Amino acid sequence: MSDLTNPADLWPMPPGAAAKPEPQRWVWAAMEPQERRIRMRELDAWVDWLRRTFELHNTITYCWYRHSAVVEHLTALYTGWIRTYAGEEAPGRELAEADWINTLHNFVPRLQLAACATGTHQDPPLIVPPPSGSFEAFELYLKLSDATSTPAVHPAAAELGRREAELNAPL
């Protein structure tokens, strides 16, 4: 039986698996519905641990799973957490855990849902449909704009040329 207060017990271990789980990428849209439900339960258990451990119970609302942007941010934090705490140690990553905690704190503003902070879920705003002709206007922009049709020139080309001339100058 899993102990939800122990982060090591938050992900399922298939029979015969190595002691450490294989860190992997999560792309929700690429998962079959059954896998999505399993992974969402896994993420939910971890989010519960995260809320308690880092005292984010007033930051991450209970309806976090109904907000796709928050789900994506928490997914990124979770998979990064797995790679940090359960992945292989890599040279130069002596402060990986501290880096992960800094990343968590940088994500906190993105996890807050002001509309749902009172405990009552508010649906995200509706997506405004694009105006008529916007696809055609975009394609026209791609064809005619200087930003997308000017030949490539590296911004530092003149400086690189000057430095090369200095190196090749006669003595």
Residues 138 and 112 occupy one common structural domain: no
- Please give the DSSP secondary-structure letter assigned to residue 94: T
Which domain, by its residues, includes 158? 134-166
Residue 149 · residue 143 · CB < 8 Å: yes
DSSP-derived 3-state class of residue 84: helix
Q: What is the pLDDT of residue 88?
A: 67
Residues 150 and 108 occupy one common structural domain: no
Residues 65 and 143 occupy one common structural domain: no
Residues 41 and 109 occupy one common structural domain: yes
Token digits of residue 90: 């890599």
- Tokens 């026209």, located at residue: 140
Which residues of the chain fall below pLDDT 70? 1-24, 88, 90-91
Q: What is the pLDDT of residue 48?
A: 96
End-to-end distance of the chain based on CA atoms, in angstroms?
78
Is residue 108 one of the residues assigned to a domain? Answer: yes
Q: What is the pLDDT of residue 169?
A: 80
Q: How many domains does the chain have?
A: 2
Q: What angle do CA 129, 29, 132 make, to 5 degrees?
A: 15
Q: What is the pLDDT of residue 1?
A: 47
| Integer Cα distance of 82 and 94 in angstroms | 16
